[in-house]
Structure 1
């Protein structure tokens, strides 16, 4: 375990603990941490937000399960390789940010986080997602961009609340048919993958879908435009952006833009 440095170092331990207990927020960004600070674990039920962005943490201890009221776990920009299996005990978690680490897999116990609303793990080394991700029925955002994913699990279709799915810069070839169950999905981003086709009923089934981004994929313009439900999708997209093509949206009034291999 490590000790706190940087700005926090000028405070006494008791002052830090008092402040963190009063606010419920432990903010240790850019604190030059190389190991997880023991004193944070002493707070147990008091911590609601833990932010250790931009440090050099390689491991998250099993004892993090003591923080039973934790709602926001922000671990971005470290060198973390894994989450402890008992992360599933953090039943109050609503947000996990693991962007820009070295995570190679997620534990099955992730599926126990039934209150989780936002999961971002872009810029890691994932080759697959656990099937248990389908248990995250309250998940609104899933960001798995910049990994090495070859596919998304069939269980993704059970994330019924999902509104935004980002999976840019992977090696995904096709989506599971169950993605058509995501009736609240508004945005689907799959830039720079190997997608040749998407489920034929996607546009018809996902009636709230307003944005699909498929830059640098083999799927053709004709394929997309010929899908059932394309006209309705296009009408939603135009309505949202007030008939102007936003720079973040690949689908224009003529279909897929020049970023797609036709």
Structure 2
């Protein structure tokens, strides 16, 4: 018994030593029901924490001790809420929370000012905090498959945003501030209730190459009559031609790339 205990202890010690030296804690598909407390002992050593596809319900408040954390991935768990003090993770660049049971995001989200990618699809969100506008370095926002009825006006302050995915919600209108997103390249709003989009969108968002609006009560005629449509269409075709010239593999939905109503 003593031998086995020692062996297990050595195994755990080796694992922690490896985590500490690499800065990467990867525990995907580990059948965990609780957050592994030994990770918290690593303190400033952890840069990536991946706990995808477990059965974790709660993230401990002490996760805020991992102040050098850059990538936090909790996809496919049973998490209902984020802990207080998440805003202390000032080095965080990637936060992935897809496929959980999160109903709300606190205002503290806006403190994660270095965040570049936020993906929280497949949850139970009914709204996003106005503080999301403080995420000036955000490149990707994925809030697909939630229960959102709108996007906050402050989203127009996410000036670096290049890709916005909000498929599978109940969104009816887009805030006028979305026209401020001059770096936006892709806007995906399939399966919503969008009946109109800001009339200046195509004119102001000069980087926009792809709009996807499948299964919304908006017509192609409405879209084509918008100011800036011809310029948008030229960008869309240029992107598509470049894909062809680069011998990019086009899948079954490849021809839907770009304007998709």
TM superposition score normalised by structure 1: 0.91
- Which residue is equivalent to 2:237? 238
Q: Secondary structure at the match of 2:241?
A: coil
Whole-Å separation in 1 of the counterparts to 2:212 and 2:9: 48
- Which residue is equivalent to 2:214? 215
Whole-Å separation in 1 of the counterparts to 2:99 and 2:226: 36
Q: 1:223 to 1:76 in 2, by over 3 A?
A: same
Q: Does 1:16 align with 2:24?
A: no
- Which residue is equivalent to 1:54? 53
- Which residue is equivalent to 1:72? 71
- Which residue is equivalent to 2:154? 155
What residue ranges of structure 2 are gaps of 5+ in the alignment?
1-7, 245-252
CA shift at 1:17, angstroms?
Answer: 1.0
CA shift at 1:246, angstroms?
Answer: 2.9
Superposed CA deviations along residues 68-118 of structure 1, whole A, max 9, x for unmatched, are: 000000000001001112110000000000000000011110100000000
- Which residue is equivalent to 1:249? 257
Q: 1:22 to 1:204 in 2, by over 3 A?
A: same
Do 1:210 and 1:240's aligned partners in 2 also have CA atoms closer than 8 Å? yes
CA shift at 1:247, angstroms?
Answer: 3.7
CA shift at 1:249, angstroms?
Answer: 2.3
Q: Secondary structure at the match of 2:197?
A: coil
CA shift at 1:34, angstroms?
Answer: 0.3
Whole-Å separation in 2 of the counterparts to 1:35 and 1:110: 23
Q: Secondary structure at the match of 1:12?
A: helix
Do 1:84 and 1:107's aligned partners in 2 also have CA atoms closer than 8 Å? no
- Which residue is equivalent to 1:4? none
Query: Over aligned residue pairs, what C-alpha RMSD do you find?
Result: 1.5
- Which residue is equivalent to 1:32? 31
Q: Secondary structure at the match of 1:85?
A: coil
Whole-Å separation in 1 of the counterparts to 2:217 and 2:87: 38
Q: Which has the higher helix share?
A: 2
- Which residue is equivalent to 1:133? 132
CA shift at 1:250, angstroms?
Answer: 5.5
Whole-Å separation in 1 of the counterparts to 2:133 and 2:157: 5
Q: Secondary structure at the match of 2:49?
A: strand
Which moved further from structure 2: 237-246 or 203-212? 237-246
Q: Does 1:119 align with 2:127?
A: no
